[in-house]
């Protein structure tokens, strides 16, 4: 009775639906104060003075801090952020002061009472402005406003251009969106009398976070314990440390009390990261027979005023340009540019939705020039199992071709393509594919994950993984892995939350890696535990170990088929004896992948996930309203472990992608977020969710747990590209920027006519 | 948000009590479902007032029914009740349709038609329908009793109404013999979207097909909900054909004054208003 591939409701669903799960917002520590942050009123200004006297005088205020009151160490990927800004603000979210008070309302009121005098500085609001000659310089040590560059190339570009029969060229501009986690950002910081710090955090990388947070606040890491709270949505937003976290620690230090700091919803829109906006100047070519020849891409990224992970998204973007299809010569240049805009973090897909939007638009443009059906053209360029791409990725298993063929069939592509009709409601279908890491990503020297497993005296398997549940359903998948490998019932497995004092090490939840990496780690620990369990059982029931197995939490004699003991009984008997023992195992899984070399080449993941989606839209050509009617998806998942969970991941990814394509936009005007509320920032709602048809292509991956690949990010990646392609099929206009709001679509249609 | 002052809330249990409370403190803020006020207060867009009269428990204001030749919809009728009311569906289906587009289910459960009218947002979803139906908004004060105000005269300027400080809205009356109204709302999405443009249109045609009367009302294209009187004039007395439809659409830009805001642009609103008017008139049956 395998639980692998079953439809298992998330193990924590009753707790979540019943309102019993404890998010960071629910954590109350005795004596706790409430923190709040005073943010900048300007986008680029020198701070002349900060007057906190009125805030300090407000009854109930226990601590007020500015940059002068703390050791304000620089941090972040660009070392260009500090917890509090003392002399200069560089974007509208910048933190200037913070308050700890008896209530959240008092803390917020005190923040309002802080008087800041500014002297405005010349600001830049786009990469183009920041790159113009004579542009204001944001950081004196970066006089060209370009803190980072990426250069990738494989193949002979000139030769590949020369052999191209068709070349297409265009520019694509992708906008700001944000994660919109249901749980806003928050943290609780609590010092012991001896000065040891416990933080209840919603980070998705607890072990790295411990080291980084300790460094920012000047504590030895061994004095920091990170307890992961239940996370109310991650999607990448909790991969980096943001200023509110060290700020809360400093408030706790200065007040001598535990402090909880929570964002309200508007603050979440203004003060949490965005998806990386991007500009792609791109050319690509093909031979007459449809063989892709080259791609030449220049990416310009708006880094905002400080650096978070958004600046590193070219790592992932270039993978799609180099390796989604076979292509002889690919060149990618990325320039990251400081501006006074908000800054981007990591967000599900990590640059890939943006890159896929640009690449798939060019594939469609080539298809039109060559007179080849878009799906046929893609099929002519997909790789075979065993192939190694120009960037060094090795595709042991690849079901890209099967995914394309599946969506062609299931979407009625041939019948629907190129038949928009004459009415004011036009129909269209469009396709897009995706490539994403599916077996972790070796971005550090290791991509490993530890597991500890304890079998208790009532037969319960306690799994503590270094990796963690951030809403993606990994606890359930890991429980299934443990149950399957040990032969115990699923309800006899508990997966415990990450606590850096108790749990084993892991690099964190990112790169769609948890099922694959943590799953394999759990399998190793579970197999070891089963071996110990059967050894103990063999001695107890006096049968050779080869004759025994564990099924349904019972010890079974394989010759008779009879249950001879239970898991709990064996463990109890092991405990209650002289020279007893416990069954506790640990494991560390390191995937067989390589870190990239200096030219970004290398087999960075143990396996890769592919997929294809066909969007069907209806466009009202009189109002520009686009309705996503149907989304047909086929995903190369290796093997589905929790069918219900993976359906949820795919459907959720499609909804998120539909929002990216059609309705969501963080409107940033001269550096200021104009719509920091759900009334004006439009997620898709239930009526916009299309009919969704999902097929899992399950060929099994040789390295994945039970053959599974990671697919947490995958389903979101091609959605916007497929929708734009469908709108083109319906209207003849290919939109090169998002979202496809009625205003943008109507303007595009009118421009053409 | 902390405020030094406090807010006094009165909760009348009858219309008399409500009118008395209002007479005692004219200009008190009237609260019904709270779907506009609570949002504005919480967001700090409006200061908490000194006095609030909470009408939620006044039963006389919540009735929906037919009286003589008219449909009466009490000011406290929620959008959910309007959507579910057989009387509204029978006599003013477009009103039910408009109420169904307000916010989402939770908002429809609390938001009232009286609140929609009094809030006087140019984007209020039911307001163009009330204009197109030539509805009467009955208001009352303790001193003067009831006073009927035609919808045409109710919204006087941006977020201003004909309601006097001591008055409250009692009900909406809609004549049962009105021609049916076509309602159209364009937004970013189909739920939880404030209109970029909305239109309510009613036509009365003679046996010969000529337009005897036209009422074309709009939301989100002017400081108040407005009628397009020049476009109506272009249709009146004419058969509904390409020439009159073209003239009505050509006249429309003089009737409306859309702006750029966070939800849309002047250009989009103007174009789409003309497009949905043309489509509605071209497809008109009955």
Residues of A within 8 A of B192 (CB-CB) are 678-679, 682, 685
User: How many Cβ atoms are within 10 Å of B53's Cβ, its own excluded?
Assistant: 23
Rounded to an integer, what distance in angstroms lies between the CA atom of residue B126 and that of residue B117?
8
Whether B44 maps to a domain, the answer reads: yes
Do residue B129 and residue B200 come from a single domain?
no
Percent of chain A with pLDDT over 70: 100
Return the residue matching tokens 């960075």: A604
**Is A753's Cβ below 8 Å from some Cβ in B?**
no
**Is A105's Cβ below 8 Å from some Cβ in B?**
yes
Residues of A within 8 A of B281 (CB-CB) are none
Enumerate the H helices of A469-548 as residue ranges. 474-486, 519-541
Q: Which residues in B176-195 are b (16+ Cβ under 10 Å) and which e?
A: eebbebbbbbbbbbbbbbbb
**Is A265's Cβ below 8 Å from some Cβ in B?**
no
Beta-carbon contacts of A736 under 8 Å, excluding residues fewer than 6 positions away, are A170, A171, A172, A173, A361
**Is B110's Cβ below 8 Å from some Cβ in A?**
no
Pairing of strands A449-455, A583-589: antiparallel
- Tens of pLDDT along A433-443? 999 999 999 98
If you measure CA to CA, which chain B residue comes closest to A743?
A: B268
Do residue B77 and residue B138 come from a single domain?
yes
- Tens of pLDDT along A496-513? 989 999 999 999 999 999
Whether B135 maps to a domain, the answer reads: yes
Return the residue matching tokens 């027979």: A289
* pLDDT number for residue B191: 84
Out of B262, B265, B267, whose CB is closest to A674?
A: B262
* pLDDT number for residue B149: 98
3-state secondary structure A588-613: EECCCCCCCCCCCCCCCCCCEEEEEE
Q: Torsions phi, psi of A13, nearest 5? A: -60, -45
Beta-carbon contacts of B204 under 8 Å, excluding residues fewer than 6 positions away, are B179, B211, B212, B213, B214
At B250, list the tokens. 């050509």
**Is A237's Cβ below 8 Å from some Cβ in B?**
no
What's the distance, CA A211 to chain centroid? Answer: 21
Rounded to an integer, what distance in angstroms lies between the CA atom of residue A320 and that of residue A324?
5
If you measure CA to CA, which chain B residue comes closest to A662?
A: B188
Residues of A within 8 A of B189 (CB-CB) are 663, 682, 684-685, 687-688
Which domains are delineated in chain A? Answer: 31-121+184-231+238-271 (3.90.1170.50), 278-441+596-752 (3.30.365.10), 448-589 (3.30.365.10)
Task: Give the number of A-B residue pairs with CB atoms closer than 8 Å.
Answer: 64
What is the nearest CA distance from B256 to chain A, expressed in angstroms? 17
Pairing of strands A278-286, A292-304: antiparallel
* pLDDT number for residue B284: 83
- Tens of pLDDT along B224-267? 999 999 999 999 999 999 999 999 999 999 999 999 999 999 99
CATH number of the structural domain spanning residue B30: 3.30.43.10
If you measure CA to CA, which chain B residue comes closest to A746?
A: B268
* pLDDT number for residue A238: 96
Do A717 and A436 meet the contact criterion of CB atoms below 8 Å apart?
yes
Do A110 and A61 meet the contact criterion of CB atoms below 8 Å apart?
yes
Do A622 and A732 meet the contact criterion of CB atoms below 8 Å apart?
no
Of B136, B156, B175, the one marking the end of a domain is B175
**Is A679's Cβ below 8 Å from some Cβ in B?**
yes
Q: Tell me the residues of chain B between 229 and 258 that have a Cβ less than 8 Å away from chain A.
A: none
* pLDDT number for residue A604: 97
CATH number of the structural domain spanning residue B93: 3.30.465.10
Do residue B116 and residue B147 come from a single domain?
yes
Do residue B69 and residue B151 come from a single domain?
yes
What is the nearest CA distance from A635 to chain B, expressed in angstroms? 28
Do residue B189 and residue B264 come from a single domain?
yes
- Report the C-alpha dihedral over residues A388, A389, A394, A396, rounded to 10 degrees: -70
Do residue B89 and residue B23 come from a single domain?
no
State mean pLDDT over B32-53: 91
State mean pLDDT over A282-292: 98
- Tens of pLDDT along A621-660? 999 999 999 999 999 999 999 999 999 999 999 999 999 9
Residues of A within 8 A of B193 (CB-CB) are 682
Q: Indicate which of A746, A750, A751, A753 best probes the interface with B, i.e. most B CBs within 10 Å of its own CB.
A: A746
Burial class, B40, CB count within 10 angstroms (exposed 0-12 / middle 13-18 / buried 19+): middle
What is the nearest CA distance from A676 to chain B, expressed in angstroms? 11
Beta-carbon contacts of A393 under 8 Å, excluding residues fewer than 6 positions away, are A319, A323, A603, A604, A605, A608
The two counts, helices (H) then strands (E), for chain A are: 19, 28
pLDDT score of B45 more than 90: no
Rounded to an integer, what distance in angstroms lies between the CA atom of residue A257 and that of residue B197?
53
Q: Which residues in A502-530 are b (16+ Cβ under 10 Å) and which e?
A: ebbebbbbbbbbbbbbbbbbbbbbbebbb
* pLDDT number for residue A473: 94
Q: Torsions phi, psi of A369, nearest 5? A: -60, -40
* pLDDT number for residue B285: 67
Do residue B186 and residue B242 come from a single domain?
yes
The β-bridge partners of A394 are A388
Q: Which residues in A204-229 are b (16+ Cβ under 10 Å) and which e?
A: bbbbbbbebbbbbbebeeeebbbbbb
Do residue B192 and residue B255 come from a single domain?
yes
Whether B1 maps to a domain, the answer reads: no
- Tens of pLDDT along A30-76? 999 999 999 999 999 999 999 999 999 999 999 999 999 999 999 99
pLDDT score of B286 more than 60: no
pLDDT score of A126 more than 80: yes
pLDDT score of B95 more than 70: yes
State chain A's mean pLDDT as an integer.
97
Q: B22: domain range?
A: 8-57
> Sheet holding A115-120: strands in order across?
A88-89, A45-51, A115-120
3-state secondary structure A165-188: CEEEEEEEEECCCECCCCCCCEEE
CB contact under 8 A, B189 and A687: yes
Return the residue matching tokens 């005098």: A117
Return the residue matching tokens 């008070």: A101
State mean pLDDT over A204-222: 97
CATH number of the structural domain spanning residue B195: 3.30.390.50
3-state secondary structure A416-439: HCCCCCCCCEEEEEEEEEEEEECC
Rounded to an integer, what distance in angstroms lies between the CA atom of residue A438 and that of residue A586?
24
Positive or negative: CA dihedral A371, A374, A377, A381: positive
Kindly provide the ipTM of the predicted complex, given to two decimals.
0.92
CB contact under 8 A, B186 and A623: yes
The β-bridge partners of B155 are B161
At A397, list the tokens. 């298993």
Q: Torsions phi, psi of A298, nearest 5? A: -115, 125
Rounded to an integer, what distance in angstroms lies between the CA atom of residue B180 and that of residue B204?
9
Do A63 and A99 meet the contact criterion of CB atoms below 8 Å apart?
yes
Whether B43 maps to a domain, the answer reads: yes
SS3 A564: strand
Whether B3 maps to a domain, the answer reads: no
Residues of A within 8 A of B1 (CB-CB) are 105, 108-109
Return the residue matching tokens 């045409």: B152
Beta-carbon contacts of B220 under 8 Å, excluding residues fewer than 6 positions away, are B122, B123, B194, B195, B196, B197, B198, B258, B263, B264, B269
Q: Give chain A's length.
A: 753
User: How many Cβ atoms are within 10 Å of B23's Cβ, its own excluded?
Assistant: 14
User: How many Cβ atoms are within 10 Å of A622's Cβ, its own excluded?
Assistant: 18
Out of B2, B263, B265, whose CB is closest to A109?
A: B2
* pLDDT number for residue B42: 84
Do A696 and A399 meet the contact criterion of CB atoms below 8 Å apart?
no
Confidence of residue A1 (pLDDT cuts 50, 70, 90): low
Of B175, B200, B227, the one marking the end of a domain is B175
Whether B2 maps to a domain, the answer reads: no
What's the distance, CA B80 to chain centroid? Answer: 15
* pLDDT number for residue B1: 47
- Tens of pLDDT along A242-286? 999 999 999 999 999 999 999 999 999 999 999 999 999 999 999
Out of A424, A680, A685, whose CB is closest to B191?
A: A685
* pLDDT number for residue B26: 86
Whether B27 maps to a domain, the answer reads: yes
Out of A623, A667, A682, whose CB is closest to B276?
A: A623
Do residue B98 and residue B126 come from a single domain?
yes
At B169, list the tokens. 């809205």
Do residue B223 and residue B161 come from a single domain?
no
Do A664 and B188 meet the contact criterion of CB atoms below 8 Å apart?
no
How many domains are contained in chain B? Answer: 3
Rounded to an integer, what distance in angstroms lies between the CA atom of residue A92 and that of residue A42?
6
Do A737 and A721 meet the contact criterion of CB atoms below 8 Å apart?
no
Rounded to an integer, what distance in angstroms lies between the CA atom of residue A615 and that of residue A634?
12
Do residue B112 and residue B206 come from a single domain?
no
State mean pLDDT over A523-548: 98
Q: Which helix (H) or strand (E) holds B203?
A: strand B197-205
Of B175, B204, B227, the one marking the end of a domain is B175
Rounded to an integer, what distance in angstroms lies between the CA atom of residue A377 and that of residue A371?
9
Beta-carbon contacts of A293 under 8 Å, excluding residues fewer than 6 positions away, are A160, A161, A163, A164, A284, A285, A286, A287, A327, A328, A329
Beta-carbon contacts of B18 under 8 Å, excluding residues fewer than 6 positions away, are B12, B53, B55, B58, B61, B168
**Is B188's Cβ below 8 Å from some Cβ in A?**
yes
Residues of B within 8 A of A682 (CB-CB) are 188-189, 192-193
Beta-carbon contacts of B41 under 8 Å, excluding residues fewer than 6 positions away, are B47, B48
State mean pLDDT over A346-372: 98
Do residue B95 and residue B67 come from a single domain?
yes
Rounded to an integer, what distance in angstroms lies between the CA atom of residue A89 and that of residue A69?
17
CB contact under 8 A, B262 and A424: no
């Amino acid at each position: 009775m395998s639980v692998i591939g079953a439809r298992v409701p998330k193990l924590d669903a009753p707790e979540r639906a019943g309102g019993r799960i404890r998010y960071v917002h629910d954590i109350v520590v005795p004596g706790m104060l409430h923190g709040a942050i005073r943010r900048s009123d300007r986008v680029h200004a020198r701070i002349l003075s900060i007057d906190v006297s009125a805030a300090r005088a407000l009854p109930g205020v226990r601590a007020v801090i500015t940059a002068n009151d703390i050791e304000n160490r620089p941090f972040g990927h660009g070392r260009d952020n500090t917890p509090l800004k003392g002399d200069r603000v560089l974007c509208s979210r910048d933190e200037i002061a913070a308050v700890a008070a008896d209530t959240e309302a008092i803390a917020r009121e005190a923040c309002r009472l802080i008087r800041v005098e500014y002297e405005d500085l010349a600001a830049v609001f786009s990469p183009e402005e920041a790159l113009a000659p004579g542009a204001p310089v944001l950081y004196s040590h970066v006089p060209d406003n370009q803190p980072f560059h990426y250069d990738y190339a494989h193949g002979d570009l000139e030769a590949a251009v020369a052999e191209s029969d068709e070349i297409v060229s265009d520019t694509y501009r992708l906008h700001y969106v944000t994660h919109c986690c249901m749980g806003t950002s928050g943290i609780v910081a609590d010092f012991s009398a001896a000065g040891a710090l416990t933080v209840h955090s919603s980070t998705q990388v607890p072990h790295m976070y411990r080291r980084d947070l300790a460094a920012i606040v000047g504590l030895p890491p061994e004095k920091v314990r990170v307890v992961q709270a239940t996370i109310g949505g991650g999607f990448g937003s909790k991969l980096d440390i943001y200023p509110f976290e060290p700020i809360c620690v400093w408030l706790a230090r200065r007040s001598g009390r535990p402090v909880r700091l929570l964002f309200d919803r508007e603050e979440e829109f203004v003060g949490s990261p965005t998806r990386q906006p991007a500009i792609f100047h791109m050319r690509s070519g093909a031979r007459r027979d449809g063989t892709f020849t080259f791609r030449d891409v220049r990416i310009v990224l708006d880094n905002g005023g400080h650096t978070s992970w958004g600046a590193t998204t070219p790592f992932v973007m270039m993978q799609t340009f180099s390796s989604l299809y076979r292509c002889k010569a690919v060149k990618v240049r990325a320039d990251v540019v400081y501006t006074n805009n908000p800054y981007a973090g990591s967000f599900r897909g990590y640059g890939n939705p943006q890159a896929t939007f640009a690449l798939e638009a060019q594939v469609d443009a080539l298809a039109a020039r060559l007179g080849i059906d878009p799906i046929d053209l893609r099929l002519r360029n997909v790789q075979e199992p065993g192939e190694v791409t120009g960037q060094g990725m090795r595709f042991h298993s690849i079901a890209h071709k099967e995914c394309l063929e599946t969506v062609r069939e299931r979407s009625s592509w041939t019948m629907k393509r190129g038949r928009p009709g004459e009415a004011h409601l036009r129909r269209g279908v469009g396709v897009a594919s995706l490539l994403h890491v599916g077996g972790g990503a070796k971005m550090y020297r290791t991509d490993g994950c530890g597991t500890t497993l304890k079998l208790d005296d009532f037969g319960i398997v306690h799994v503590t993984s270094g990796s963690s549940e951030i809403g993606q359903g990994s606890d359930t998948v890991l429980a299934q892995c443990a149950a399957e490998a040990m032969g115990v019932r699923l309800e006899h497995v508990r997966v415990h939350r990450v606590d850096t004092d108790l749990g084993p090490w892991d690099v964190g939840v990112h790169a769609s890696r948890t099922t694959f990496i943590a799953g394999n780690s759990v399998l190793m620990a579970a197999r070891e535990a089963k071996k110990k369990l059967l050894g103990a059982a063999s001695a107890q029931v006096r049968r050779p170990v080869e004759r025994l197995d564990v099924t349904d939490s019972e010890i079974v004699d394989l010759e008779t088929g009879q249950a001879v003991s239970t898991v709990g009984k064996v463990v109890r008997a092991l405990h209650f004896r002289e020279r007893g023992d416990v069954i506790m195992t640990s494991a560390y899984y390191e995937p067989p992948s390589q870190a990239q070399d200096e030219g970004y080449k290398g087999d960075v993941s143990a396996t890769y996930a592919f997929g294809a989606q066909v969007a069907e839209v209806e466009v009202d050509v009189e109002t520009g309203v686009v309705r996503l009617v149907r989304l047909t998806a086929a995903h190369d998942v290796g093997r589905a472990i929790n069918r219900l969970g993976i359906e949820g991941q795919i459907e959720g990814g499609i909804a998120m992608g539909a929002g990216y394509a059609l309705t969501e936009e963080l409107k940033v005007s001269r550096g200021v977020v104009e719509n920091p509320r759900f009334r004006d920032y439009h997620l898709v709602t239930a009526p916009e969710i299309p009919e969704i048809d999902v097929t899992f292509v399950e060929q099994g991956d040789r390295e994945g747990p039970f053959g599974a690949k990671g697919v947490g990010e995958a389903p979101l990646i091609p959605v916007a590209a497929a929708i734009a392609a469908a709108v083109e099929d319906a209207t003849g206009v290919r939109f090169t920027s998002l979202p496809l709001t009625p205003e943008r679509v109507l303007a595009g249609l009118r421009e053409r006519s | 948000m902390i405020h030094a002052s406090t807010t006094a809330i009165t909760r009348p249990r009858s219309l008399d009590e409500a009118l008395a409370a209002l007479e005692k403190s004219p200009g008190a803020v009237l609260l019904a479902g709270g779907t506009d006020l609570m949002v504005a207060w919480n967001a700090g867009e409006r200061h908490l007032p000194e006095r609030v009269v909470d009408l939620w428990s006044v039963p006389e204001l919540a009735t929906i029914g037919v009286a003589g030749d008219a449909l009466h919809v009490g000011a406290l009728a929620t959008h959910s009740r309007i959507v579910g009311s057989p009387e509204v569906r029978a006599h003013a289906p477009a009103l039910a349709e408009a109420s169904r587009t307000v916010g989402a289910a939770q908002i429809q459960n609390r938001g009232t038609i009286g609140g929609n009218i009094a809030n006087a947002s140019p984007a209020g979803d039911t307001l163009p329908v009330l204009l197109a139906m030539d509805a009467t908004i009955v208001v009352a004060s303790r001193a003067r009793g009831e006073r009927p105000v035609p919808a045409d005269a109710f919204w006087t300027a941006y977020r201003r109404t004909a309601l006097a400080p001591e008055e409250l809205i009692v009900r909406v009356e809609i004549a049962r013999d009105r021609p049916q109204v076509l309602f159209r709302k364009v937004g970013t999405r189909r739920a939880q979207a404030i209109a970029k443009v909305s239109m309510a249109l009613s036509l009365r045609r003679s046996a010969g097909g000529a337009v005897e009367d036209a009422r074309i009302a709009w939301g989100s294209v002017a400081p108040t909900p407005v009628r397009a009187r020049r476009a109506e004039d272009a249709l009146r007395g004419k058969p509904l054909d390409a020439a009159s439809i073209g003239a009505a659409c050509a006249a429309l830009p003089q009737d409306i004054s859309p702006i750029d805001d966070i939800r849309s642009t002047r250009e989009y609103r103007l174009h789409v208003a003309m497009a949905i008017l043309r489509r509605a008139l071209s497809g008109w049956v009955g």
